Chain A
Amino acid sequence: MTFVIPTAVDLMTNSVNTHPNARGGFAGVGEGQTSQRGFAKAAGNLPLTDEATNMTSSNDGTLRGFNFGFPTAIDTSTNTKLIVWTYQFNAPNRVQTDTAANRGLVFRLGSGAGSPTTSYRTWNIAGNDKVGASARENPKMIIVDPNDLTYDEDIGTYDNTDLQTFGLGVNNLSITGTGSSNFFPQRIFAFSTVKGATDIPRFTGSSNWGDLITAMGTTFDTKITDEWIKRDGDVFSYAAPFEIGDNVTSTQFNDNGVTVFWPNATTITDADPRVRVTSAAFRAYLNLRDNAADTATFSGLYNCGNSTPAWDFNISNNSVVTFSGATFNNVGNFTVGSSVSGNATFDSCGVVYNNNASLSGSTLKNPNAGHLMRLAA
């Protein structure tokens, strides 16, 4: 019974000034660094028992933010990674941001050396007119694929082979009372989207979607994240790639008929532009051992949203993968191998590449590709 969330790249528990990987304040035109940098916010992180990097922005029409370094530079030129971060405003009268168009709350990725780097892309992910900053909410997720091209600013020469920094900034606008903006970035992840990678979220053992909730934590002193994993009854929302099996550990996965969906990719024109991803972000893989004891059973409903990621169930060995009335909506190209059998509905998916899977009784409809299925030669 295991779902493993890979280790965070940064827990963000230090003040700005004591952060070991501080890489300088925002320094572009009309920008400045975070106003208060000397203390961390008590209970501002997840779990609640941890402090959080505290960031404030003065009400001076300046986009104020700070950059932090990845432990090692990230290369997304061949396979992308997915940045998954959460932030939270302090009390509700400390939201205080301008609109998203006016850079109310921005996420930044920088490439190359320098503190700060001189090459970066910025995504305007919230503002007082967007879900991410129209009120004080739960820890709000930021889901950014470094290769996403809906960025709102591109400065210098952004190099996706050498991504070194991540940052947040707020353009303060006093919208309620006179307090300044005060918010806390929390732990940040950089997930792989590649089969077999060490840093892709993964099910092993006797597992199901409920294990996500266990992995996330459910008490004030264990809960490590929020929003990008959520459960409402038998409906799960999830905003990351995943893999079932690691080709080493005995794995028996069963979705138990639940519904799982991913958010839509968005842009600044959307009501909630915090998900900025390519079709590579929300990929899924089967990686079961060559052993009949390894099983995966799907009877639930999956909806990948509008980013239509390719799913790779192309496994042809002694493992046993059963589709038992599962429905897959908005998956991109979906490759299945001979270990897969049973009936499923593929609705609004890409091409189902069938490498000798027995899918009798399945329904394929509303393709978002030129054809519904391609059989192996």
Chain B
Amino acid sequence: MTFSLPTVNNTHEDNGAGDPLFAENIGSPNAVNTKEAGNLPITKDGSQFTITSDNQLAGVSYYFQATPASYDVSSSTKVLLWHNQFNAPNRIQVADLANGGVRFRLYSGTTLFSLAYKDWYIGGNDSPFAECVKGQVPFVMDLNAGNETSSAGTFDNTAVTRYGIMVNSDFVVGTQGNINFQGSNFVLGTSKGDADIPVFTGTSDFVQAVTLVQGTDYTNKIGNWIRQTGSVVYIDMPFQIGDAATATTFNDNGVTVVSPASNNAADPRFQLTDQAMQVHLNLSNSASDTCTMTGTYLWGTRANFNFDQSDASLTSIAGATFRGMGDFTIGSSVSGAANFDNTGAVKLSNSSVNINGSTISNTFASNALHFTGGPMDIANMRFESYAGKHAILIDTVGTYKLTDVFFDQSGTADIETTHTTGTVTIDLAGTTTTPTFTNTGGGTVVLNFPNRILTLNGIVAGSRILVTDTTNTVVLFNEVPSTSPFVGSIASQGTDVDLSIRVRNGAVPYKTFDTTATLTSAGVGINVSQVSDV
């Protein structure tokens, strides 16, 4: 029963000079010391700086770590979780957001006086950071984030070294100065298997994550990066389910999980790339390792969900809703009918993946579903609202079977094929909507339609039937059925067929029964009414 965060990066319990990772002041704060109870938990002091003049820009900066001296985030990013608060409400005293009331600075380079840095304006007296006292305000900075407000030098993301917080004072209420406390922070990895990515193991759920961060009393509340209101959990960090070693039974218990948007104009406390809020499945190769998701996942960034696990572990996403994230890669350990709404591409990584019954709508990607694992069968899936895009991407030759699949035909074409040689065969079965195609690659595409069923009921024994396709002038059946009803299976090219039906029995005798019908994908049934001709 565990939700684990990595070791804290800096507790920020010491004043500047007493902190071995303190780098330097930014500007000239009037005092740098500590605040009793200014941290979380409130049994800990918080590092503090004070500004006593109106319209003064000042702050403090710290190294991330002593050794190694820098982070290389060029291939896989990290995120900094930090929080920060003001003293009493008349000690906020900051400018508005446009004037950078609260600013975050990220440095690269290993020399103390490096001039390579980026600044982000993350709060002001007109944003949630400083419109009133908020306690410890969480903010999350991706070390590869763009959208910086300003910069200096050439920022090098292979050598990210230190960070800082600054306040641009503006005495908005009274004349007292600004006092700001810094709390502890974490630096998190974002890739699967990273040692410093938050991980659920054991018998776990999201409420455990809430409890770890919010604590159970004043001695163990460590932050506000995870919060709960009712059945909704806000989680401002990437995470992984399982660590490929520890027995894990995760269940979301149907809660709604919300991940923040990046660079929100009204509240820019989250500066994120699409790597920042990734979610990974990393269960052990054991049938006793399970993950059950029935909740709703609302993602503010296009972070990928990597559920590409194909082993003995069991993950169910039946009934879950996923909205807003990036690509969602699924392996054969994952099953269940889920709703994917406004996500990136749903990628099925091998032919054994079964998410039949799922609905994919409002895709953000150019193709709602991608068979990345090659040929496979799907059933009972619905593709809706993909204007200007495609429902399915096929890039590998082979045979694919689509049973009872619904396309709302809102897109440019329902299926895009990109193979350049060989043949993609698509077998349509059941009630599958006849799809439209875009053959981008130029390879061969063969579409096999399901046979359509003609049923003739109430045939007098010994009668001969003659069924003619009058659309194509082809005799389909000319025989004396051995039983009634007669059920005929008729090859289809996906279009409706007009039939002429004649039933005769001269031996008894009966008058000839003639009728016509249109054979649709739903089939057609005829009640043969033969009248005695005595």
Contact = CB atoms under 8 A, between A and B. Distances in A.
Interaction A to B: yes
Interface of A: 41-44, 46-49, 88, 90-93, 95, 99, 128-131, 133-139, 175-177, 213, 217-221, 223, 226, 230, 232-235, 237, 259, 261-264, 271-272, 301, 303, 305-306, 330
Q: What 8 A-B pairs have minimum CB-CB distances, sorted nearest first? A: A93-B37, A137-B135, A129-B217, A43-B90, A305-B230, A219-B126, A43-B89, A233-B261
A188 to B, nearest CB: 16
B85 A92 contact: yes
A237 B38 CA distance: 28
Interface in B193-233: 210-211, 214-218, 221, 224, 228-232
B133 A88 contact: yes
B213 to A, nearest CB: 11
Q: Say which size band chain B's interface belongs to.
A: 35 or more
Contacts of A213: 266
Contacts of B36: 93, 176-177
Interface in B118-134: 125-127, 130-134
A131 B218 contact: no
A282 to B, nearest CB: 10
Contacts of A262: 230
25 contacts: A41-B89, A44-B88, A48-B131, A48-B132, A92-B46, A129-B216, A135-B42, A136-B42, A137-B134, A175-B42, A175-B218, A176-B42, A176-B218, A219-B131, A220-B126, A220-B132, A226-B134, A232-B234, A233-B298, A237-B229, A261-B231, A262-B230, A264-B230, A264-B231, A271-B210
B373 interface: no
Given A48-B131, A135-B41, A42 B173 contact: yes
A306 B126 contact: no
Contacts of A223: 131-132
A121 B217 CA distance: 25
Contacts of B42: 92-93, 95, 134-136, 175-176
A220 B298 contact: no
Interface of B: 35-38, 40-43, 46, 85, 87-90, 92, 96, 125-127, 130-136, 172-174, 181, 210-211, 214-218, 221, 224, 228-232, 234, 256, 258, 260-261, 264, 266, 296, 298, 300
Contact of B214 (A92, A131, A139, A303): A131
A91 B87 contact: yes
B214 A218 contact: no
B260 A232 contact: yes
Nearest to B215: A134
A148 to B, nearest CB: 16
B296 to A, nearest CB: 7
A339 to B, nearest CB: 26
A48 B171 CA distance: 12
A220 B134 CA distance: 12
A220 B217 contact: no
A230 B228 CA distance: 13
Contacts of B218: 95, 128-129, 133-135, 175-176
A234 B221 CA distance: 27
Nearest to B181: A92
